[in-house]
Amino acid sequence: MKKITVLAGDGIGPEIMASAIAVLQATASNYEQNFQFNNQLFGGAGIEASGRALPEATLQACYDADAILLGAIGGAIGSPWEKAKQTPEQGLLALRKALNLFANIRPICVPDALLPLSPVKEAIVKGTDFIVVRELTSGIYFGEPRQLQETKAYDTCRYTETEIARIAHKAFQLAQTRRKKVTSVDKANVLATSKLWRKVVTDVAKDYPDCTLEHQLVDSCAMRIVQQPTDFDVIVTENLFGDILSDEASVLPGTLGVLPSASHSENGVSLYEPIHGSAPDIAGKNCANPASMILSAALMLRQSFQEEKMAQSIEDAVFAVMNEGVVTPDLGGNAKTDEFTAAVIKKMQS
Ligand code: NAI
Ligand code: MG
């Protein structure tokens, strides 16, 4: 029995979470697996219920879980949640910090099934298969002091050697299981934190003589991601750069709606979530692409439960269904969220 704490969250979160859970439930018995889902309030839903985006009971349920599935949090611009004591985004940062989820793994793949749907030329995008390893619990999202005043504001970007070294080790260890190439992305021509980043990553690389390391500045990396995405194997970068570059990379498969992620600590529970947000513009319309959430659940099966076959069968079904033309509007189709989900389940059972 695996205990999964479920944080459906806001906007399209509950819609795509329902899809992922339906897929997990439909396959569990085929693999003699048993899941216990523990739904908890988080984000705007937490604020509505208790004034806090991360209620104490939710955090406790996360500590107690074998794995966590998160949909997405946040409201539209101008949402009353922005005035809460703890906003949805602050709740998410607090959760990542509390669970020490410093390593955010974001696979960016364009399987052949997605080639006809990608807005990028096939010659450029075919064979794209890289992973963004984003540092998740430090940098400018967490640095103090920070202040918003009437006519000026500031944030602080801060990194320690230890924080950089542990994420660099994660990246090299991942690269060793793949094509053994690490691209470290920084802005070392300008930022002090990036100068330290480059030095520490270079030192860590000495422990992995079988891997190659290249350094690239974030601005030119942004260009290379859409021009030569097949150059990359593992990209390791700090919190803000990783957030932006991985959203940019969603142009390669054609939508944010197919990109999952996994967040790990040193030894504790891991969390699995799409890289996108709560998409308030399409919430409640049964038209969100649930693939990002279903594929996040597959990552959970593989990385937390060592259920490789089950994970693979879900991934295969998702792309087979897309290949047959059952796609949601973000990819130019007209399948509804629940129709796409039903097609995936049917595919797995056939
Ligand atoms: P977003 O990622 O929610 O949406 C960006 C665009 O992608 C929108 O046009 C949306 O419709 C589309 N999109 C995203 N996921 C999709 C899916 N599964 N299927 C089809 N289309 C999809 O980013 P946005 O609009 O900037 O932020 C909305 C809210 O989400 C904000 O409150 C923000 O703070 C929050 N947010 C939460 C995150 C999380 O929960 N981890 C991450 C990023 C943003
Ligand atoms: Mg983001």
Together in a domain, 169 and 279: no
ipTM above 0.90, yes or no: yes
Question: Can you give the residue range of the structural domain that contains 287?
Answer: 1-101+263-350
Answer yes or no: is 96 a known binding residue: yes
- Does ligand 1 lie within 6 Å of residue 288's CB atom? yes
- Does ligand 1 lie within 6 Å of residue 72's CB atom? yes
Name the nearest CA neighbour of 298 among 14, 13, 31: 31
Q: What does the pLDDT read at residue 175? A: 98
Name the nearest CA neighbour of 72 among 115, 125, 15: 15
Q: What does the pLDDT read at residue 78? A: 95
Q: What does the pLDDT read at residue 343? A: 98
Together in a domain, 225 and 279: no
Which CATH number goes with the domain that contains 170?
Answer: 3.40.50.2300
Q: What does the pLDDT read at residue 277? A: 97
What is the value of pTM for the model shown? Answer: 0.96
Residues 66-111: tens digit of each pLDDT: 999 999 999 999 999 999 999 999 999 999 999 999 999 999 999 9
Instruction: Give the list of residues 6+ apart from residue 309 with CB closer than 8 angstroms, or none.
Output: 31
- Among residues 251, 283, 312, which one ends one of the domains? 251
Neighbouring C-beta atoms of residue 213, cutoff 10 Å: 20
Q: What does the pLDDT read at residue 332? A: 95
3-state secondary structure 43-78: CHHHHHHHCCCCCHHHHHHHHCCCEEEEEECCCCCC
Q: What does the pLDDT read at residue 222? A: 98
Together in a domain, 241 and 198: yes
Answer yes or no: is 179 a known binding residue: no
Q: What does the pLDDT read at residue 350? A: 87
Q: State yes or no: is 219 an active-site residue.
A: yes
Together in a domain, 273 and 348: yes
Answer yes or no: is 146 a known binding residue: no
Answer yes or no: is 283 a known binding residue: yes
Q: State yes or no: is 233 an active-site residue.
A: no
Together in a domain, 88 and 150: no
Beta strands in 218-306 (DSSP E): 234-237, 260-264, 271-274
Flag whether 123 is in a domain: no
Flag whether 119 is in a domain: no
Q: Give the distance (Å) from ligand 2 centre to CA of residue 143.
A: 18
Q: Is the pLDDT of residue 29 over 90?
A: no
Name the nearest CA neighbour of 243 among 229, 224, 227, 263: 263
Catalytic residue among 64, 199, 219, 309: 219
Name the nearest CA neighbour of 188 among 199, 179, 178, 177: 199
The mean pLDDT value of the chain amounts to 97
Express as a percent the part of the chain with pLDDT over 70: 100
Neighbouring C-beta atoms of residue 140, cutoff 10 Å: 17
> Distance between CA atoms of 341 and 344, rounded to whole angstroms?
5
> Distance between CA atoms of 113 and 34, rounded to whole angstroms?
31
Catalytic residue among 159, 187, 330, 347: 187
Q: Give the distance (Å) from ligand 1 centre to CA of residue 247.
A: 10
Flag whether 9 is in a domain: yes
Pocket test of ligand 1: the residue of 79, 256, 258, 292 to mutate, having most ligand atoms within 8 Å of its CB, is 256
Together in a domain, 134 and 201: yes
Together in a domain, 207 and 151: yes
Residues 210-222: tens digit of each pLDDT: 999 999 999 999 9
Class of residue 151 by CB neighbours under 10 A (exposed 0-12, middle 13-18, buried 19+): exposed
Catalytic residue among 66, 129, 155, 247: 247
Flag whether 109 is in a domain: no
Flag whether 208 is in a domain: yes
Nearest CA, atom 34, ligand 1: 74
Residues 226-247: tens digit of each pLDDT: 999 999 999 999 999 999 999 9
Flag whether 241 is in a domain: yes
> Distance between CA atoms of 302 and 275, rounded to whole angstroms?
18
**Which run of H or E residues covers position 115?**
none
Together in a domain, 12 and 62: yes
Pocket test of ligand 1: the residue of 141, 278, 339 to mutate, having most ligand atoms within 8 Å of its CB, is 278
Flag whether 168 is in a domain: yes
Name the nearest CA neighbour of 92 among 141, 50, 139: 141
Q: At 158, is the pLDDT very low, low, confident or very high (cuts 50, 70, 90)?
A: very high
Which CATH number goes with the domain that contains 68?
Answer: 3.40.718.10
Instruction: Give the list of residues 6+ apart from residue 115 with CB closer than 8 angstroms, or none.
Output: 122, 125, 126
Residues 251-303: tens digit of each pLDDT: 999 999 999 999 999 999 999 999 999 999 999 999 999 999 999 999 999 99
Residues 109-127: tens digit of each pLDDT: 999 999 999 999 999 999 9
Q: What domain count does the chain have? A: 2
82: Cα separation from own chain's centroid: 23
Q: State yes or no: is 243 an active-site residue.
A: yes
Q: State yes or no: is 338 an active-site residue.
A: no
Q: Give the distance (Å) from ligand 1 centre to CA of residue 232.
A: 25
> Distance between CA atoms of 254 and 270, rounded to whole angstroms?
27
Together in a domain, 214 and 325: no
Flag whether 122 is in a domain: no
Looking from the CA of residue 89, the nearest atom of ligand 1 is 34
- Does ligand 1 lie within 6 Å of residue 279's CB atom? yes
Together in a domain, 190 and 170: yes
- Does ligand 1 lie within 6 Å of residue 326's CB atom? no
> Distance between CA atoms of 7 and 69, rounded to whole angstroms?
6
- Does ligand 1 lie within 6 Å of residue 330's CB atom? yes
Express as a percent the part of the chain with pLDDT over 90: 99
Ligand nearest to the CA of 329: 1
- Among residues 205, 220, 251, which one ends one of the domains? 251
- Among residues 207, 228, 251, which one ends one of the domains? 251
| For range 1-6, the mean pLDDT | 97
Answer yes or no: is 288 a known binding residue: yes
